[in-house]
């Protein structure tokens, strides 16, 4: 009997979705717009996170060494640097290589260097850090430790840049959570109101069902199924539009942004983000229905 009733309820939900297709289509569009806004924000945030990671990967600390340092001491310094848990890898830059790099980077000064009697560039170690989540304090402590090693004469590290990036990343995250929360709340109210309109339009039907002996569950289920389907469809449409936006964005808008293009580019959502967007849409649709139908069950 339960299966028969379930079959009937699902059929009724399908029937209602089709019968009120105009209104339901508008609902889906509103839901998809809400989730599209969230999706666009997520895509932007993904891009910023990606850029941050790229930048931090490029962050290197250069430790300049005394010239003509015995190989054993050079090895010891390298070992000390490598021993730190913060360091991902270390490259030794010899005097010759430093000179070559200079010549390559500043070709117009090439001749001046060539006329010098000796190579003025000291050898150095370039240490790359593991990831950007390392606190600036830990990096400073690490630099001070290496600086105290005999044979190390100077350190070059753009700490200020790193700290700025860290705080930018924190701001982006905070703004992200704030905007995300507001948008999700707004979406919930929009969906809930759209479903309420649907329920209100069928107030009569609910009353009739109550009066001929339907249980509350019997009345609720088709609306829940409809809310779920609308939410699901809305979030799927939003993902589809977002996908198109990501494809189209660089072609039409990207170039107009000039230097900001890289910063404002959209990066595709991860599978996990898409999953949660779909879950969020379906859940919001279903919850919107629950709150809306309950008001009409007191007949």
- The residues of the shown chain that bind another protein, judged by CB under 8 A, are 1-2, 4-5, 8, 15, 19, 204-205, 207-216, 218, 297-299
- Helix%, strand%, coil% for the chain, nearest 5: 75, 10, 15
Closest distance of CB 283 from another protein, Å? 25
| CB nearer another protein, residue 181 or residue 201 | 201
Minimum CB distance to another protein, residue 31 (Å): 23
Of 11 and 147, which has the nearer Cβ to another protein? 11
Of the pair 2, 271, the CB lying nearest another protein is at 2
CB of 198 to another protein, least distance (A): 13
Cβ closer to another protein: 107 or 213? 213
By beta-carbon proximity to another protein, the closer residue of 218 and 249 is: 218
What sign results for the dihedral spanned by CA atoms 15, 18, 19, 20? positive
Q: How far is CA 275 from CA 229, 230, 292, in A?
A: 15, 16, 26
* Strands 124-129, 152-156: pairing kind: unpaired
User: Least Å distance between CB 266 and another protein?
Assistant: 42
State phi, psi for 134 to the nearest 5 degrees.
Answer: -70, 135
Minimal distance, residue 218 CB to another protein, in Å: 6
Which residue, 73 or 207, has its beta carbon nearer to another protein? 207
Give 111's Cβ-side CA count (13 Å radius).
1
> Which residue is associated with the tokens 């753009």?
158
Quote the least distance from Cβ 35 to another protein, whole Å.
Answer: 29
Tell me if residue 157 falls in helix, strand or coil: coil
| Cross-sheet strand order for the sheet of 152-156 | 87-93, 124-129, 60-65, 152-156
Do 176 and 89 meet the contact criterion of CB atoms below 8 Å apart? no
């Amino acid at each position: 009997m339960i299966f028969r009733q379930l079959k009937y309820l699902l059929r009724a939900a399908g029937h209602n979705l089709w019968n009120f297709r105009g209104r339901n289509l508008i609902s889906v569009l509103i839901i998809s717009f809400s989730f599209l806004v969230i999706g666009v924000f997520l895509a932007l945030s993904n891009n910023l996170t990606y850029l941050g990671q790229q930048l931090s990967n490029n962050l290197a600390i250069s430790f300049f060494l005394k010239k003509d340092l015995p190989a054993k001491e050079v090895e010891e310094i390298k070992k000390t640097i490598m021993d730190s848990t913060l360091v991902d890898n270390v490259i030794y830059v010899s005097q010759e290589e430093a000179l070559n790099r200079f010549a390559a980077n500043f070709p117009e000064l090439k001749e001046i260097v060539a006329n010098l009697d000796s190579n003025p560039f000291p050898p150095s170690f370039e240490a790359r850090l593991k990831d950007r989540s390392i606190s600036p304090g830990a990096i400073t402590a690490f630099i001070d430790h290496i600086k105290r090693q005999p044979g190390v004469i100077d350190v070059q590290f753009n700490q200020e840049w790193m700290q700025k990036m860290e705080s930018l990343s924190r701001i982006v995250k905070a703004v992200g959570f704030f905007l995300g929360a507001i948008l999700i709340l707004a979406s919930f109210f929009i969906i809930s109101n759209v479903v309420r309109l649907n329920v209100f339009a069928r107030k009569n039907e609910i009353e009739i069902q109550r009066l001929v002996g339907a249980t509350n569950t019997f009345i609720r289920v088709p609306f829940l199924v409809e809310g779920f389907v609308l939410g699901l469809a809305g979030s799927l449409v939003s993902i589809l539009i977002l996908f198109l936006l990501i494809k189209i964005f660089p072609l039409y808008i990207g170039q107009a942004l000039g230097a900001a293009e890289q910063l404002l580019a959209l990066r595709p959502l991860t599978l996990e983000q898409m999953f949660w967007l779909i879950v969020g849409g379906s859940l919001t649709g279903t919850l919107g229905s629950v709150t809306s139908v309950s008001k009409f069950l007191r007949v």
